[in-house]
Structures are given as structure tokens and as C-alpha cells.
Structure 1
Amino acid sequence: MEINWTPEVLANGIAATIVFLAVIIVFALSERKKLKSLLYFRLVFFFVGLYSIFEALSDLFLFKPIAIIGVMLLFPTAVFAIIAINYVVKDTYFSYTLLFLIAIGPVLLLLTVDLNAFVLYTGDPYTYISSTQWPLFTELFFTTFFGFSIFYWALKTYLNAPFLIKKDALIFLIGVFLAGVIAIILNIFTIFSRIFVIIALAFADIGTLIILYMVEREPKLFYILPFVVHRILVKDNNGFPLYDHDWSKSDIDEVLFSGFINAVQHMSNEIMDIGGLLDINLERGILILHHSKYITVGLVATKSSKLLRDSLM
């Protein structure tokens, strides 16, 4: 079998190496933070890495079935990306966007299984296999869907980021913009010249490295959504406040707030004494109380979520 070493093969190989490095980093982070969204982001990176490998192998061996598998790998990539974003933004896997993707995805995959739609180009600038017709549309659809969905989440994260990590959120957004939006736009231009594939991969590599650095540096980027924390207070079991931080800058001092929590706790002894969580709906948010052996933590946020509740336990 002929081996077809090209700049595109090398570029895809480098991209796959960086992406699998991302899998390792996100795996280590998910083990420390126990975030369900990180599990799905790890799967996203894994399938992106597989896609890059199959893209490289299809050109290296000039074998069309490998190219078909590569395009098909974009479907689970997009699905897991949407699930990961849903867990960060909504604290649940379901959304109508995911439902739409699952409905249309299998149809596009069936249309992709067409060897005649993968064309072998020889000569200038080098020999390669390219998708056309429905496989090309499928590839562009999934990459665009995936890239712009990730960018939407990164933008929303930046807009809702607190002041202390606003700069980190901006750098993260830039990384996503380079790896997602810019790389995808450049990839569309490959229908005019193959050199755009290498340029797109270079932007994707740079963006991915920025994303990895920021995820490792500031994992709190995954905590910004889907809630806004207004206040947290820690008190001992005698009712004395030990720590209080008020992001909302309200006029209620810690003694008054602690007294309110004491009153609520006193009226809910049966629940709190067994070490449980208590949610109290307020007019513009929710108060979450967690009682342990020595302390009680009270937290006021815009809404409750599993992530927020788990962080108190």
C-alpha cells in the first residue's frame, strides 16, 4: 500500500496529539472536581482526536472508507458537546438542540456512506482525499454546529463571569474563538485551496492549547453557570457567624442574616438534624442550608442546582 506523506497528514497528527493531551488533562481535572460536564468534555476531545487521526490515515493510505469513518465521528463529537454544554448551563443533559441533533444526525450519517462522494485528488499541491456532496455537507454541518455551540457557551460564561475571573474567562473565550469559529471558517475555504486545511489546524491547535491552559488554571469557569451566588454564610452550631461574604452588597449585616438562618434552622430541626439539605424559595432566588456536625452553611443563589448542592456537602 502506498504511503502518502503530506503536510496535511503531519498537521492532523499534531492536532491529534494535542487533543489527546487535552483528554488526559480534562480526565485529571474531572477526577478532582467530580463535575459531570467534564466527563462529556473529555469525550468531546476524545472524538475530536479520533477524527484527526482518521483524517490523517485516510490521506496517508489514500483509503476512502477511513475518510467515511472520520466524517461519521463528528456526530458523537457534536452530541457530547451539546450534552456537556447543557450540564454546565442547565445542570441537565436535555435540550431541544440535542433532540434536533439526534433526529437529523443519523440521516446525515446514512447519506455520508457513499464512496463515490469521496474524491481522490492528485498533483497540486499534493495528493489527498476530499469529501464532496452530502459527506461534505455533513462534515461542515457537524463542525459548524459543534464549534458555534462551544463558542456560545464560552461567550455566555464570559458575560456572566465575576470580576475576579473576568480576564481568565476572556482568554478562555479567545481560545474557543480560535479553535472553534476561526478554524471552522477557514475550513470552509478549503473548497478553494487545501492550504486552508493546514492554516485551520494551526488555529485549532493554538486555540486548544489556550483552552487547556485556562481550564487547568481556572476550573471555576465551569461553575459560573447556571446560577449566580449572592451570599454565603458559615456559622457554628451555637449560632455565631464564622464567615460571611456578600456578592450582592445588601444592607443586611452578618448578625441579622445569621439570626435569620438560626430561626429557619430552629423551625426545621427534624430535617436539619439528620444532616440534610434544606431549600427555601425566596422571591428572587433560593436559600440553601446544609447542617453538619460542627457548622451550618447558608447560601443564597438565583436558583438551586445539583452542582451547587453537591458543593455544600
Structure 2
Amino acid sequence: MKIKQFNPALPALLAMAVFVAACSSAPTTTSLLDQTRGDFMAAQGNPAVTSYAPVEFKQASEALEQASAAAARKDSQEKVDKLAYLAKQKIATAQEVAKQKSAEAEVGTAGKQRDQVRLEARTQEADQAKLKAEEAQRQAAAAQAQAQNADAATRDAQARAAALEAQLADLSAKKTERGMIITLGDVLFGTDQARLTPDGMQTARKLADVLANNPKRTVLIEGFTDSTGGADHNLALSQRRAEAVRNALQEMGVARDRIATRGYGEAYPVAGNDSASNRQLNRRVEIVLSEEGSAIPARR
């Protein structure tokens, strides 16, 4: 029987050549991609594949083209391997479909008496080939879904990180070895009181939004005062101010077990206590935001 010859893989081969030529250095490749290219060449050299499974072979060619393009772009090995695996399965599908149809064609050319015998044998082979082809398609679909899920997860993580960065910038947060620190100045509390002003409540709302969008993070709220007044009074005031922030966050929906408080009184000043402006800097509440899933280091 005469088999028509055509080469649907030529676009893929030309595309691979263009990608290779366009790169100033050798593109990324993997052992799986090399194996897939070998499988493709073997299938291309099989006349039955190009004759009986042109659609499936074209899909395999396009899949291999995508894998080669990823390699040429020097994408990650994981992404190249996922695309190569998908192409490898599509090549296997084309081969199995070609084998099935070739078997059916051979049955049709046999004599009546031999037809029955061959039909039973070839039908069984065809059924097995169909099952293999279906399994190959399922595996290819699973690999494609896994790749899409991984890409979606990466995009989601990047979006969350960008949103957090914008929120922290709005809160004037500073990065330290203990984590990001948001400072509430003395002006956000009533004078010598542990009650947040409306502006202080607005800042607390922004912090509550950060915690709502990042459920694996916790906060440590630390209160400080200047050196004016008695040490006991200052220590108690610093603790009450830290607790005022905690209470505000709880009222806004933040779970209590995600918030810790500590009052330090006049300890750990950030400026001298020799002027009114410096003392105001020392009267503050610092909110330490943990890294995701990590504990906040103790103050040194």
C-alpha cells in the first residue's frame, strides 16, 4: 500500500533552528527534552505516523516547539521539563493512534478467512493502543494542569507581596532584623493617656487590613515612654498604650493569639531626653510584623 509522505513537523524544526540561532549562548536543555526530541525524530521517520495520525503528530510538533522555545528563552529547568513531558506524551499518542489505524488498514487488505483471525488479534491490539493513547492524553492533561496551577500560584504570591509592600509603605514601615516595624507616635494617643486618637484608629485599621491579607503573620506591640515622671508610672503607661492598640486590632477582627504586647517604659530610647522634641520621639508604640510563619526575634 502506498503511503503519502508529508512533513507536518517542518514548522517546529524551523522554529527550533530560529530559537537556537537567536540566542547568543547555548539555550537551556534537559535530558528529558533531549529524549523527547529523539522520540520526535523517530516518530517523524515512521511513515505510518505522518499518514495515519497527522492531527496528533501536529499537536506533538507544536508541544515540542513550546518546550524548545522555553529552553531557548532559558526558562527554569522545571518549566522546560513540564513542557517536554507534555510533548513526549503527545508523541506517544500519535504513535499509538498510527499503530491502531495501521492495524485496521492491514486487516482490511487481508483475505476473508485471514480477516477474521487478524481482526480479532488486531482489534485487541487496537483496543490496547487506544487505552494507552487515552492514558497518555490523561497524563498530558494532568501535566498541563499542574504547570498552570504552579504558574497561578506564583502569580498569586507575587500579587500578595506587591500588595503588602504597598500597604507597609503607606504605614511608613521600616525593615529591621526583627521584621518590619510600624511606629505610632505620641500624637496618636491622648496626652499622657492610653486612648488612640481618630488618626491612631485609622492607622490601626490599616494594620488590621495587613493582618487580614496575611493570615500567617503575627505582631508584637511594644510601648515606650520618655524619662519624665516615675519609672512605675511610665512602665504602666507604656503597657496600657500597647494594649490599647491590641484591643483596637481585636475589635477590627484580628485574633488575640496573633497579637502580643510588651511595655518597656523609658527603656530603649531612640533619642535623648534633653529636649521636648526628643522626648516626644521616645513616647511611642512600635509594632513589629513577623515574617510569614516565623516567630518575632526577642529585642536585644
TM-score (ref. length: structure 1): 0.27
Higher alpha-carbon Rg: 2
